[in-house]
Amino acid sequence: MRPDVAIVTGAARGIGAAICKRLEAAGWRVAGLDRSWDDDNVHVPVVRETVDVTDFDAVRNCVSRIESGIGPVAVLVNNAGITRDAMAHKMNPRDFTAVIDVNLAGPFHLIRAVLPTMREHAFGRIVSISSMNAQRGQAGQANYAAAKAGLIGLTKVVALENAARGITANCVAPGFIETDMTAAMRGDVRDAEIARIPAGRIGAPADIAGTVAFLASSEASFITGQVLSVNGGQLMP
């Protein structure tokens, strides 16, 4: 039987919670990982693990627990991410490293932990959430754009190394999506950003979740090493 377990990081809210819900609807058994969970989580996946993606040993133990508890991992969605914005000439180097640790080293830790099983079963779908701001640059986000662009490079290498083993690796590059991350922005900056979206609206977490579910599906088996932009036409790279 083909493995049917999906791991989603940053699953407690926002885009990650929407991805869990959508993958469950598509028949995957979902293990959600997050560094913290609130009681009012909008969606609770079948398995809920508390783990910090920056800690490789913790990630490796968590993946082993999932594999021995519910089965081999078929799908990995690297969604956990943070921002620590500041202009490059004022950015605290600790904030640079913190964003690289979560947004780039974190996905590597997960990929490193799931690949041996995926290779053994000759099946895997790895989807990593990058960003439009990695494709175009964004003032104030030297750390974030570097990490999210690095994620695209990492994805291409993993795609090449594992293509012959039935494993695909792709990125989704969201534009401006309505979550806690964007709600934290200054109101006028947020409104100006929305006014620049050709589709005339902010994106919904479900817009990203649907794309991830497609990339995880059998219809997408010949798509690998790609970056799929989901941004309402705001950037056409």
16 belongs to the binding site for ligand NAI (CB under 6 A): yes
Interface mask toward ligand NAI for 185-214; x: CB under 6 A: ------------------------------
Element (H or E) spanning 188, and its range? Answer: helix 187-195
Q: For ligand NAI, which stretch binds (CB under 6 A), given 29-37, 69-77, 192-200, 218-226?
A: 29-37
52 belongs to the binding site for ligand NAI (CB under 6 A): yes
Whole-number Å distance between alpha carbons of 195 and 35: 33
The single residue among 81, 107, 124, 232 that binds ligand NAI, judged by CB under 6 A, is: 81
First to last CA, the chain: 39
- Name every residue whose Cβ is closer than 8 Å to that of residue 124 and which is 6 or more positions away in sequence: 73, 74, 75, 76, 114, 115, 118, 162, 165, 166, 167, 168
Secondary structure (3-state) at 73: strand
* CB 6, min distance to ligand NAI, A: 16
* CB 2, min distance to ligand NAI, A: 27
Q: For ligand NAI, which stretch binds (CB under 6 A), given 6-14, 21-29, 89-97, 220-228?
A: 6-14
227 belongs to the binding site for ligand NAI (CB under 6 A): no
**Encoded tokens for 210:** 């649907």
144 tagged catalytic:
yes
Whole-number Å distance between alpha carbons of 61 and 174: 30
Q: How many CB atoms lie within 10 A of CB 173?
A: 25
Residue 53 sits at the vertex; the CA angle it makes with 110 and 105, to the nearest 5 degrees, is: 70
Residues 124-153 that bind ligand NAI (CB under 6 A): 129, 131
Angstrom CA distances, 89 to 2, 82, 92, 149, 150, stand at 50, 20, 9, 20, 21
**216 contacts 23 by C-beta, under 8 angstroms:** yes
179 belongs to the binding site for ligand NAI (CB under 6 A): yes
The single residue among 46, 54, 166, 194 that binds ligand NAI, judged by CB under 6 A, is: 54
**158 contacts 124 by C-beta, under 8 angstroms:** no
The single residue among 5, 7, 10, 152 that binds ligand NAI, judged by CB under 6 A, is: 10
The single residue among 3, 5, 8, 13 that binds ligand NAI, judged by CB under 6 A, is: 13
The single residue among 39, 57, 180, 219 that binds ligand NAI, judged by CB under 6 A, is: 180
Catalytic residue among 96, 108, 123, 144: 144
* CB 178, min distance to ligand NAI, A: 7
**Positions marked active-site:** 144
